[in-house]
Amino acid sequence: MPTRLLLLLMTTLLLTTCTFVQERYPDLPPGPYRAILELEYNPIVPNPKGEPLPEKTNLEFEEVTEGLLPFNMEVIYETDTTFRIEIRNGEETIVVPAADIAAGRDQEAGRDTLRIDFPVYDAHISAYHEENIIEGVYVVHYRENYRIPFKAFFGQNHRFTVLRKAPAADISGKWAVNFGRGDETPYSGIAEFQQDGNYLTGTFRTETGDYRFLEGTVQADKAYLSVFDGSHAFLFEAKINDDGTLTGTFRSGRHYITDWTARRDDDFKLISPDELTLMKEDIPLSFEFPTADGTVISLEDEQYAGKPKLIKIMGTWCPNCREEAEFLKDYLASNDTKDLQVIALAFEKYGAEDPRSRAAIQRYQRTMEVPWPVLLAGPSDKEAAGEALPMLNQIISYPTLLFVDRDNKVRRIYTGYNGKATSKYDEFVAGFQASVADLIE
């Protein structure tokens, strides 16, 4: 074949191949990505001699880069031009629909852009992408100037590390945990771990709720767990000590870090969720708060008179509140609850007067499609929430669920939420069903 003709055929084939890929996947390539949030501030330190820097040697957690919170996600095309993203944490899959993803082109920078919105949580990821790498920031709107560097690498499906060091121990089981450092008020928790070789999953239960679906690894005498769901950005690291105890750190985003220790204890118990928030007096519950459009709703309104009620104390920014709301939606749709009413009282990060709080509630109602009213009750500060409901002795957790009878007497108060990630979920469901049955009889 003549050289000129051969070159022409090769050029045509190359152009056709490039055009096909560009037309089929105009934005991100489909498949798995390993994403990371950089929780540590790591400024570049001048080192002209190229010598090891003291602060970069002898790290406590040498299997991974300190302060990197990893999670896994996948790009799945629904049409030739639209795709969704699925974020995975253990058994949980969080779907970011195509409607909440915007891909485009920054003409000035000459780079492809990506924005991933988490509308219920008032947060987003904004990034550039090229050559199978996404790089940008995770931004939480209700925290002032709160930005965490974000990266994602196409084709990688490990979480913390590709290492497979023989675990020093199997940490599966139940652990009594103590959180706190320095002058902080310590608090207790229960860790529930499931280990299969190097693979580790589990959660932490506390008296104010659980720490979601955690996923990670055990490498030699170190353990690592993380979760990212659009709101929570949790990173746990721990050392398995010679005496069988665990010692580690817990980070929540860039704004909080504390220490934790754990020991095996199958008999350890937290204070019951029914004993944490109580009525000060045996009096009827009473309140009135506005909806996002300004309509004031009161328990004395005709539509609620003589009916049993569930009062859900929550925040639109709270993932545990969201999981509880999904449970309530499914329960109401699947069961005959007679004239049972549900009202949500939202305590928002922007406070009671800021229009952004009303916008957050409207987004929440639109996205979650909840069939009950959501009232703007006040700021998310728990002391302020307690002032909004002065008949309660305290509010220590979002969510908190009040079971209210036909006379507006509070029959039960359940603090926190033991979700599907915990061993207590079935117990919660059984208790909820029994309490609702008592209300509607």
pLDDT for res 53: 40
Does 365 score more than 50 pLDDT? yes
- Amino acid 124: pLDDT: 97
Residue 72 tokens, joined = 């896994």
Around Cβ 284, how many Cβ atoms within 10 Å? Answer: 15
11 pLDDT higher than 70 = no
Q: For CA atoms 332, 333, 334, 335, give the dihedral sign.
A: positive
For residue 235, name the pLDDT band (cuts at 50, 70, 90): very high
pLDDT average, residue stretch 148-156: 97
Is the CB of residue 406 less than 8 Å from the CB of residue 307? Answer: yes
Query: How far is 348 from 142, CA to CA, in rounded Å?
Result: 9
pTM, full prediction: 0.87
- Residue 17 has a pLDDT of 44
- 200 pLDDT band, cuts 50/70/90, is very high
| Chain CA centroid to CA 145, Å | 20
User: Reduced to 3 states, what is the DSSP secondary structure of residue 18?
Assistant: helix
Residue 142's contacts (CB-CB under 8 Å, 6 or more residues apart) are: 122, 317, 349, 350, 356
Read off the pLDDT band of 3 (50, 70, 90): low
Does the pLDDT value for residue 156 go beyond 80?
yes
pLDDT for 196 beyond 90:
yes
Residue 29 CB coordination number (10 Å):
15
Please report which confidence band the pLDDT of residue 202 belongs to, taking 50, 70 and 90 as the band edges: very high
With 50 as the cut, is the pLDDT of residue 410 above it? Answer: yes
Q: Give backbone dihedrals phi and psi of 114, rounded to 5 degrees, phi first.
A: -145, 135
- Per-residue confidence (pLDDT) for residue 42, from 0 to 100: 54
What span, in angstroms and rounded, lies between the C-alpha atoms of 149 and 233? Answer: 12
Pick from 381, 398, 392: which is nearest to 314 by CA? 398
Of residues 103, 104, 122, 424, the one with CA closest to residue 273: 424
Average pLDDT over residues 424-441: 96
37-80 pLDDT tens trace: 999 865 444 444 444 444 433 435 568 888 999 999 999 999 99
Residue 426 has pLDDT above 80, yes or no: yes
**pLDDT score for 48:** 43
| Residue 172: per-residue pLDDT | 98
Beta-carbon count within 10 A of 353 CB: 10
Is the pLDDT at 6 greater than 70? The verdict is no
User: In the predicted model, is pLDDT for residue 2 greater than 90?
Assistant: no
When pLDDT is cut at 50, 70 and 90, the band that residue 21 belongs to is very low
Residue with tokens 């409607």: 99
Query: Which domains can be identified in the chain, with CATH numbers?
Result: 173-264 (2.40.128.120), 288-440 (3.40.30.10)
Sign of CA dihedral 336, 317, 278, 345: negative
| CA atoms within 13 Å, Cβ hemisphere of 4 | 0
Q: Say if residue 10's pLDDT is above 60.
A: no
Q: What band does 24 get if pLDDT is binned at 50, 70 and 90?
A: low
Residue 379 to residue 421: CA distance in whole angstroms: 28
pLDDT of residue 106: 87
- The chain-wide mean pLDDT, for the chain, equals 90
Candidate from 190-204, 378-392, 394-408 with smallest mean pLDDT: 378-392
In the predicted structure, residue 9 carries a pLDDT above the cut 80: no
Calculate mean pLDDT across residues 166-193.
Answer: 96
Angle between helices 355-368 and 319-334 (to 10 degrees): 40
**Are the C-beta atoms of residues 403 and 410 closer than 8 Å to each other?**
yes
Average pLDDT value for residue range 204-214: 96
pLDDT at 269 over 50: yes
Percent of the chain with pLDDT over 90: 82
